[in-house]
């Protein structure tokens, strides 16, 4: 049981089984949120960067420039759609779609909240608010983020432009390199949580800090028992660097480095096709920040297990953690210059990958040390495979 | 049951068509893309067979990593032009066609011979396809798979060292 549930739904409402509807609610909610928040994100990014660089930012269209993104969207919508002469037309058209769809689909397994239901016999149970609470949730997100590179690579190749091709090549090399560090950082958390199901990973953080008994109850599932501290901060650092590199954002935005590659893979794209690349980038930022929130920052858990915090619904905590991730993105972009290409590769392969491997061993040892020497019986999940063929005949 | 049947036929058509297109297409990049589509279809097959872990690994390793490297090489060597890899009807293509037809005939023939005559008994659902199931079956002491697994990892290590030695100018 997570928190003190304020709203308790009945399990059956006019004969409808409410827990079965939860995935559809989550589907509509996530899609509406991601598609609706992107203009807001662009506005936030421009305002925050303007603040960090000590200038005004958007302030002409609407009150405090709030309608600037809307105006930009309308402008993009009415721009002429230019099709360069010698592009590979089908791949050129499908590349923005491939860039956008995996980013949207990745959010499907994030547990936004734990909804409490009251069964017919009166006991309470909770269901996570996700589209699919699958047992390979983490691998699903990693698989989709590895498919996302196709959008960039194909856009770069099909544009038939040297700069675009260079951007696409850089993107593919960069994503393959940083996927490894990202996987290792997430593996450290999996070792501690013992599951790939994201709701289980969140529930594994709902305990006393470091699992030491005798601490006050308001620390259960609090800020100090989340995995950023339990995995001793290094995996969180590795993941944050890798997630910035995975989404091609500054200081890792070499695939679209405008000062050397014009705009890289989307040089030849105009109008709404360019806008789709833009949307895809922001949607994938939201997805990887959501994974960051669920894996390292407790997902929908409140920062302290006492009353005013636990009254707030979990999805508000989740969204605010995602927004902190977005702020980290903007902060990094305003702070660091773009890396040189060989420095990027050296950072990925020679610094982060060995550190991740060493830390995986450290986490394994820590996990072994904290497990009681006579562990409880393992869950009877799977028996040894019986010979099915003999019964087939 | 009916929905899985519908899904199976959609996937069957898509995967067979895309794999044929993979061979037929002249353009190497498109050919690689059709192979990616085939891999994704195979991944969905694994999901329908309740092997979720293998499905995810199929997408991550084959579609996500290996095919991206394929595309990388195709683009880097600038083989993207449709005429770059044109082959005339040499002896090799004829032999390959012949062998391919023999293989398909053998496949169809053998599956026709071995058609089931009675419905299969309803199997007990075993969560073997999950990560837990694979881990317990692969690494538990009463199973013989741990040693082959370690041997395979040594094979991969040798391949990595070999690649590094071949890539470096001075070892």
- Are A267 and A260 in contact by the 8 Å Cβ rule? The answer is no
- Three-state DSSP state, A257: coil
Q: According to the model, what pLDDT value does residue A389 have?
A: 46
Nearest to B44 by CA among B5, B7, B3, B2: B7
Rounded to whole angstroms, how far apart are CA atoms B59 and A148? 12
* Beta strands A8-10; A12-13: pairing state: unpaired
pLDDT in tens, A37-64: 888 888 888 889 888 888 888 888 878 8
Share of chain A above pLDDT 70, in %: 93
Domain count, chain B: 1
Distance of CA B95 to the CA centre of its chain: 24
Rounded to whole angstroms, how far apart are CA atoms A278 and A99? 9
Nearest to A280 by CA among A179, A149, A90, A87: A149
Q: How far is A381 from chain B (nearest CA, A)?
A: 7
Rounded to whole angstroms, how far apart are CA atoms A244 and A92? 26
Kindly give the confidence (pLDDT) of every residue in chain B, 171 residues in length, as a single tens digit, with 9 standing for 90 and above.
577 788 888 888 999 999 988 888 877 888 888 999 999 999 988 888 878 888 888 898 888 888 888 888 887 776 655 555 566 667 888 898 899 899 989 988 888 887 766 666 665 556 677 788 888 878 877 778 888 888 999 999 999 899 888 888 776
* Residue B110 is assigned to a structural domain of this protein: no
Residue A167 pLDDT class (50, 70, 90 cuts): confident
Q: Indicate yes or no: CB of A179 within 8 angstroms of CB of B65.
A: yes
* Residue B47 is assigned to a structural domain of this protein: yes
A168 to chain B: closest CA residue: B72
Q: What is the CATH number of the domain that holds B132?
A: 1.20.120.1200
* Residue B107 is assigned to a structural domain of this protein: no
How crowded is the C-beta side of A377, counted as CA atoms within 13 Å?
3
**How many angstroms separate the most distant Cα atoms in chain B?**
65
DSSP run (H or E) holding A102: helix A89-105
Q: Indicate yes or no: CB of B143 within 8 angstroms of CB of A384.
A: yes
Q: According to the model, what pLDDT value does residue B99 have?
A: 93
- Are B56 and A136 in contact by the 8 Å Cβ rule? The answer is yes
Q: How far is B72 from chain A (nearest CA, A)?
A: 6
Nearest to A156 by CA among A235, A240, A87: A87
Q: Indicate yes or no: CB of B132 within 8 angstroms of CB of A165.
A: no
* Residue B114 is assigned to a structural domain of this protein: no
**How many angstroms separate the most distant Cα atoms in chain A?**
78
As given in the structure block, the two tokens for residue A238 are: 């590795």
DSSP run (H or E) holding A158: helix A149-158
End-to-end, the C-alpha distance of chain A in Å comes to: 47
**Contact residues on chain A for B60, CB-CB shorter than 8 A:** 139, 142-143, 146
* Residue B51 is assigned to a structural domain of this protein: yes
Domain count, chain A: 1
Q: Is the pTM of the predicted complex or chain greater than 0.80?
A: yes
pLDDT in tens, A97-133: 888 888 888 888 988 888 888 887 878 888 888 888 8
Q: In chain A, which among 78-107 make CB contacts under 8 A with chain B?
A: 88, 91
How large is the average pLDDT for residues A217-235? 84
**Contact residues on chain B for A108, CB-CB shorter than 8 A:** none
Query: In this prediction, does ipTM exceed 0.85?
Result: no
* Residue B29 is assigned to a structural domain of this protein: yes
Nearest to A277 by CA among A251, A247, A254: A247
Q: Would the pLDDT of A392 be above 60?
A: no
**Contact residues on chain B for A91, CB-CB shorter than 8 A:** 29-30, 33
The domain containing residue A166 runs over which residues? Answer: 41-112+134-368
- Are A152 and A255 in contact by the 8 Å Cβ rule? The answer is yes
As given in the structure block, the two tokens for residue A289 are: 């920040």
Average pLDDT of chain A? 83
Q: How far is CA A10 from each of CA A117, A121, A351, rounded to the nearest angstrom?
A: 5, 11, 52
Q: How far is A317 from chain B (nearest CA, A)?
A: 29
* Residue A121 is assigned to a structural domain of this protein: no
- Three-state DSSP state, A109: helix
pLDDT in tens, A200-214: 888 888 888 887 777
* Residue B123 is assigned to a structural domain of this protein: no
Task: Establish if B77 touches chain A: CB-CB under 8 angstroms.
Answer: no
Q: Indicate yes or no: CB of B52 within 8 angstroms of CB of A142.
A: no
* Residue A24 is assigned to a structural domain of this protein: no
Nearest to B74 by CA among B135, B30, B12: B30
* Residue B119 is assigned to a structural domain of this protein: no
Q: Across the interface, which of A135, A154, A179 has its CB nearest the CB of B131?
A: A135
Phi, psi of A10 (to 5 degrees): -75, 155
Evaluate the omega torsion of the peptide bond into residue B133 and state whether it is cis, within 30 degrees of 0: no
How large is the average pLDDT for residues A64-76? 82
- Are A292 and A110 in contact by the 8 Å Cβ rule? The answer is no
Task: Establish if A111 touches chain B: CB-CB under 8 angstroms.
Answer: no
> A121 exposed, middle or buried (CB, 10 Å; 0-12, 13-18, 19+)?
exposed
- Three-state DSSP state, A262: coil
Q: Indicate yes or no: CB of B52 within 8 angstroms of CB of A135.
A: yes
Other CB atoms closer than 10 Å to residue A30's CB: what's the count?
A: 23
SS3 per residue for B38-105: HHHHHHHHHHHCCCHHHHHHHHHHHHHHHHHHHHHHHHHCCCCCCCCCCCCCCHHHHHHHHHHHHHHH
């Amino acid at each position: 049981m997570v928190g003190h549930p304020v709203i308790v739904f009945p399990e059956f409402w006019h004969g409808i089984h409410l827990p079965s509807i939860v995935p559809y609610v989550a589907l509509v909610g996530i899609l509406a949120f991601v598609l609706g928040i992107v203009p807001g994100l662009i506005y936030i990014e421009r305002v925050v960067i303007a603040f960090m660089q000590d200038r005004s930012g958007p302030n002409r269209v609407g009150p405090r420039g709030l309608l600037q993104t809307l105006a930009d969207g309308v402008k993009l919508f009415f721009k002429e759609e230019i099709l360069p002469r010698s592009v590979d037309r089908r791949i050129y058209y499908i590349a923005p779609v491939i860039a956008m769809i995996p980013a949207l689909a990745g959010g499907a397994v994030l547990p936004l909240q734990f909804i409490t239901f009251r069964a017919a016999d009166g006991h309470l149970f909770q269901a996570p608010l996700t589209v699919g609470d699958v047992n390979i949730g983490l691998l699903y997100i990693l698989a989709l983020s590895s498919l996302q590179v196709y959008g960039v690579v194909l856009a770069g190749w099909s544009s038939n432009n040297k700069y675009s091709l260079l951007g696409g090549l850089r993107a593919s090399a960069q994503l393959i390199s940083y996927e490894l560090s990202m996987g290792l950082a997430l593996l450290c958390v999996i070792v501690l949580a013992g599951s790939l199901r994201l709701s289980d990973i969140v529930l594994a953080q709902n305990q006393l800090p470091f699992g030491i008994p005798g601490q006050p109850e308001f620390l259960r599932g609090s800020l100090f028992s989340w995995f950023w501290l339990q995995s001793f901060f290094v995996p969180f650092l590795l993941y944050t660097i890798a997630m910035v590199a995975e989404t091609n954002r500054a200081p890792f935005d070499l695939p679209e480095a405008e000062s050397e590659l014009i705009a890289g893979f989307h040089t030849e794209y105009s109008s709404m096709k360019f806008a789709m690349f833009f949307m895809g980038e922001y949607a994938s930022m939201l997805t990887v920040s959501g994974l960051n929130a669920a894996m390292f920052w407790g997902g929908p858990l409140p920062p302290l297990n006492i009353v005013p915090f636990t009254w707030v619904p979990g999805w508000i905590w989740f969204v605010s953690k995602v927004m902190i991730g977005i702020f980290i993105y903007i902060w990094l972009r305003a702070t660091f210059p773009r890396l040189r290409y060989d420095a990027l590769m050296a950072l990925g392969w020679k610094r982060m990958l060995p550190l991740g491997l060493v830390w995986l061993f450290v986490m394994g040892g820590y996990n072994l040390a904290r497990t009681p020497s006579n562990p409880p019986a393992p869950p009877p999940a799977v028996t040894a495979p019986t010979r099915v063929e003999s019964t087939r005949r | 049951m009916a929905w899985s049947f519908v899904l199976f036929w959609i996937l069957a058509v898509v995967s067979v068509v895309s794999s044929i297109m993979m061979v037929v297409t002249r353009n190497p990049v498109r050919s690689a893309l059709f192979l990616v589509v085939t891999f994704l279809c195979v991944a969905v097959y694994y999901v329908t067979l309740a092997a979720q872990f293998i499905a995810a690994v199929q997408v991550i390793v084959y579609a996500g990593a290996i095919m991206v490297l394929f595309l990388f090489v195709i683009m880097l060597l600038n083989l993207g032009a449709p005429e770059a890899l044109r082959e005339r009807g040499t002896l090799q293509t004829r032999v390959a066609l012949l062998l391919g037809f023999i293989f398909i005939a053998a496949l169809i023939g053998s599956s026709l011979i071995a058609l089931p005559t009675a419905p299969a008994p309803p199997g007990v659902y075993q969560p073997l396809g999950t990560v837990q199931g694979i881990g317990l079956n692969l690494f538990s002491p009463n199973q013989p798979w741990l040693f082959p697994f370690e041997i395979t990892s040594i094979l991969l290590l040798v391949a990595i060292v070999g690649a590094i030695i071949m890539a470096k100018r001075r070892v």
